[in-house]
Amino acid sequence: MSESKKSSKDKIIDTASRLFQKQGYYATGLNQIIQESGAPKGSLYYYFPNGKEELASVAVGRTADLVTMRIQEGLKDYDDPIEAIQQFILNLANAFKSYETKQGLPVASVALETAQTSEVIRQSCQQAYEKWHEVFAKKLVESGFEEKKALELGLVINAMIEGAFIIVITTKDCEPLRQIARYIPNLCQ
């Protein structure tokens, strides 16, 4: 959908998602979201009467859906789940190298900032991580892995990716992603 055809609500959610990812929850103000989205100020409270917390919860959900689709797309090119997961991680490493402006982790900063203070946002972040674990698990189950083991591996794989990204962002070097990709076959035995 073109930017001009998006509703004010979608513009607000997309802008909030981007800013929360880049700056974190507390560093992102409602005035900044309104200004950068181009939406009328009254529309924020019309669509999100409970304010920033409600908007953040919805924004995390939107981000979770986008990342879920990216993972699904990234895994579909290979039948072998181990090869698919390795290639997905290597593609993340390659994409990181080509980004002009580095984005943060999709929901990590919001989760870390708000998990102790907002149950609503904490639950949205939890649901996001569970979705991502399940995408990896589904790929493993489709090739014969037992469901319980696949779900455990999905969590471990996603945790490895998230952890590697923290190191990648702090070192500005994508090698940690490449390293975990090499260990996927050992992990999935």
Per residue of the chain (189 residues), what is the pLDDT tens digit? Answer: 555 578 999 999 999 999 999 899 999 999 999 999 999 989 999 999 999 999 999 999 999 999 999 999 999 999 999 999 999 999 999 988 755 444 667 899 899 999 999 999 999 999 999 999 999 999 999 999 999 999 999 999 999 999 998 999 889 899 999 999 999 999 998
Here the CATH number for the domain that contains residue 170 is 1.10.357.10
Residue 6 lies in a domain: no
Residue 41 lies in a domain: no
Three-state SS for the chain is: CCHHHCCHHHHHHHHHHHHHHHHCCCCCCHHHHHHHHCCCHHHHHHHCCCCHHHHHHHHHHHHHHHHHHHHHHHHCCCCCHHHHHHHHHHHHHHHHHHCCCCCCCCCHHHHHHHCCCCHHHHHHHHHHHHHHHHHHHHHHHHCCCCHHHHHHHHHHHHHHHHHHHHHHHHHCCCHHHHHHHHHHHHHCC
In the chain, the number of structural domains is 1
pTM: 0.89
* Structural domain harbouring 136: 53-187
Residue 44 lies in a domain: no
Residue 1 lies in a domain: no
Residue 38 lies in a domain: no
